[in-house]
Amino acid sequence: MLSAYLMSDWRKLLKYDPLPPLLESNNSSIIYFTKRDLMRDDQGSTEIPWSQKYATKLLHKQREDGSWRYPSKRSGEKYRQDYDQLETYRNLTQLVDLYEINRNHPAIQRASEYLFTKQTPEGDFRGIYGAQYTPNYSAAIMETLIKAGYGSDERVEAGFRWLTSSRQSDGGWAIPIRTSGCKIFEALASTSTVVGDQTKPSSHMVTGVVLRAFAAHGEFRRSDVARDAGALLRDSLFQKDVYPDRATVDYWIKFTFPFWFTDLLSALDSLSKIGFTLDDEEISAGLSWFTEEQNVDGGWRLNLLKGKSIPNLNDWVTLAVCRVFMRFYENLET
C-alpha cells in the first residue's frame, strides 16, 4: 500500500515533483493557488485570480437576471429540459471552482439567486430533467452554491434535507426515473414527477456527484450520511455501475474538470474531504493509478471529456490531483 512509502512530504507518494510545472505555468491563478494550497504560502487577497481574462469573458456573457443562455442547439427543449439552468450552473461552477469568486461579487450573487429560483418547496432543484427529480444536478448546484458562500443558507439546508430523504435504502443515490422502470424520454416529456423505487440499488455515478455537496460543506461532510455514502463510493471504485448511464468501468478514467460526472479524481476528492485515508485498500489503489499516470514533467495529461476550452486545463487538473494527494497525506496525520 502507498502508506508504507510515506516520508516527510506528500510528494513522496508520487514519482516526480509536481510543483515545478505548476510554478512555471503561464497562468497566474495556477501559481497563486499552488503557493497557497500546496506550499502553505499566504498569498493575500483571493481577489487576485478574479481578474483573469477567462473569468472576465464568462462574466461578460451573464444576463441581467443572473443566468447564462445555453449557446447551442436545444435538442432537449421538446423534453422540457431547462438548458439555461444547466448553462448557468456550468458557468457559475467554473467561476467558483477555478477562481474562487464568491458571493461578495455581485455577478455571483445574481447567478446564485437565479439558481435558487429553480428550487422546489421539497428542496430539490428541478428543470434540467424537466419535471423529474435529479439528485445529481440538485447536489451539484448545491456544491457550487456552498463554495460560493451559501453553506449556511436555509435554502441549502433544505436541499440537504431533501437529499437525505431521497436516498436509496443502501445509503446511496440513484436517478428516480431509472429506478421506476419508466421510459426515460416519456418521463422527460411528462409534466408529472415520477417517484422512484428507493429499494433499488444506488448508482455510484449519482452517489459520487451527490457526495460532492456533502464534502463541500463543513458540517455535513462529518455526517453519518456522508460517511455511509462515502463507504459505498469507495467500494465502487473501478466497478461497473448498475444503471446504463456512464456504466462501463472505463468511465472512472474519463475525467471532467471542474468536476461534472463521477470519475476517479472527483471521487477521491470527496473521500479525502470526508476524512477517508489511504489506509483503505481501494483508495490506495486509486491514488496508485494517478502515481503511475504521472508524466516525467510532474504533471498529468488525462482523458478529459469536458472543459477543453478552459485555458491551462491540464495545469488545473494537476493542481486538483495534488490537492487530493496532500489531503489524504494530512488525513493520516490527524
Contact 136, 210 (CB under 8 A): yes
Contact 164, 158 (CB under 8 A): no
Quick one: cell of 149? Answer: 458562500
Angle, vertex CA 93, rays to CA 141 and CA 241, nearest 5: 60
Q: What is the pLDDT of residues 182-197, one digit of tens each?
A: 888 888 888 889 999 9
Q: Does the pLDDT value for residue 172 go beyond 90?
A: yes
Contact 134, 167 (CB under 8 A): no
Q: Does the pLDDT value for residue 14 go beyond 50?
A: yes
Say how far apart CA 295 and CA 312 lie, in whole Å.
16
Q: Which helix (H) or strand (E) holds 315?
A: helix 313-333
In degrees and rounded to multiples of 5, residue 125 shows phi and psi of: -105, 125
Quick one: cell of 238? Answer: 473501478
Domains, the chain, ordered by start: 2-333 (1.50.10)
pTM: 0.93
* Per-residue CA distances from 260 to 31, 136, 185, 309 (Å): 24, 9, 22, 15
Q: In which band, very low, low, confident or very high, does the pLDDT at 161 lie, cut at 50, 70 and 90?
A: very high
Say how far apart CA 332 and CA 300 lie, in whole Å.
24
Residue 33 confidence (pLDDT)? 93
In degrees and rounded to multiples of 5, residue 101 shows phi and psi of: -70, 135
With a CB cutoff of 8 Å and minimum separation 6, the contacts of 315 are 21, 22, 25, 27, 30, 299
